[in-house]
Amino acid sequence: MVRKTSPEPAWQSLYDVAAAQEGVFTTRQAAAAGYSAPLLAHHQKAGRITRIQRGIYRLVHFPPGDHEDLVAAWLWADAVGVFSHQTALSLHGLSDALPAKIHLLLPLGWKQRRLRVPRGLVLHFADVATTARTWIGAVPMTAVLRTLTDCAQAGIAPDLLRQAARQALTRGLVTKSELKEVERVLRPFGGVKG
């Protein structure tokens, strides 16, 4: 009988995966690089890695990234989510507001799952076409038009929505004709021009 063996631990392989994700990796990614749970615990005790949350770790000596909190949230969702709503507004630089929570849009199929949602994470559910998403560094987010539409439908503060729509128009990221939903929501508040 041939016994299945796990791969030899390959630090460079684990490092390469983590480097592409702002120094963050999952236990599944570590296992693919040959790191078992006991070996991860050993490296954690030795101070080489730190546990961010259940199943997600960070290389201690990797330079801190601007979006590592988002990377950790994205990896928690098996790298299938896309950042949306106020989080995407902030990432696009369309708002002065700094969201207190991270908004993550997951596929509709995830709505039926029992999830232990990390603190500070707000989940939304919808299928997002690849044309309605973009990337900032290691994480995906909804494209500008999808972000504005999601925010309009979610009922964010009219002044915040107006500011974001104006910014997007001024920067040429959307056209006035594309903002029908935003205009509809803002009409009672003076419209996009306000």
Query: pLDDT (tens digit, 9 = 90+) per residue, 88-117?
Result: 999 999 988 788 999 999 999 999 988 889
- Phi, psi for residue 122 in degrees, rounded to 5: -110, 125
Closest CA to 24 of 73, 77, 96, 86: 73
Q: What's residue 7's pLDDT?
A: 66
Query: Does the pLDDT value for residue 161 go beyond 90?
Result: yes
The sign of the dihedral angle between the CA atoms of 71, 75, 76, 79 is positive
Give the residue from 171, 147, 23 showing the smallest Cα distance to 86.
147
> 47 and 61 in contact (C-beta within 8 Å)?
no
Confidence grade of residue 159 (pLDDT, cut at 50, 70, 90): very high
| pTM for the model | 0.88
Question: Higher pLDDT residue, 60 or 192?
Answer: 60
pLDDT at 80: 93
What is the CB neighbour count within 10 angstroms for residue 83? 25
- pLDDT, residue 145, reads 97
**Mean pLDDT over all residues of the chain?**
92
Centre a 10 Å sphere on the Cβ of residue 11 and count the other Cβ atoms it contains: 13
- Short-list 29, 125, 35, CA closest to 78: 29
Q: How high is the pLDDT of residue 193?
A: 81
Token pair in block for residue 79 = 């790298």
Please write the tens of the pLDDT for every residue from 39-54: 999 999 999 999 999 9
Instruction: Count Cα neighbours of 21 within 13 Å in the Cβ-side half-sphere.
Output: 24
The yes-or-no verdict on residue 163 having pLDDT over 80 is: yes
Q: Which long-range contacts (C-beta less than 8 Å, at least 24 apart) are formed by 28-33?
A: 28/55, 30/57, 31/6, 32/7, 33/7, 33/9
Domain map of the chain by residue range? 11-59, 68-189
Contacts of 157 (CB under 8 A, 6+ apart): none
Give residue-wise pLDDT tens across range 169-194.
999 999 999 999 999 999 999 888 86
Question: Nearest Cα to 166, choosing from 141, 138, 139, 191?
Answer: 191
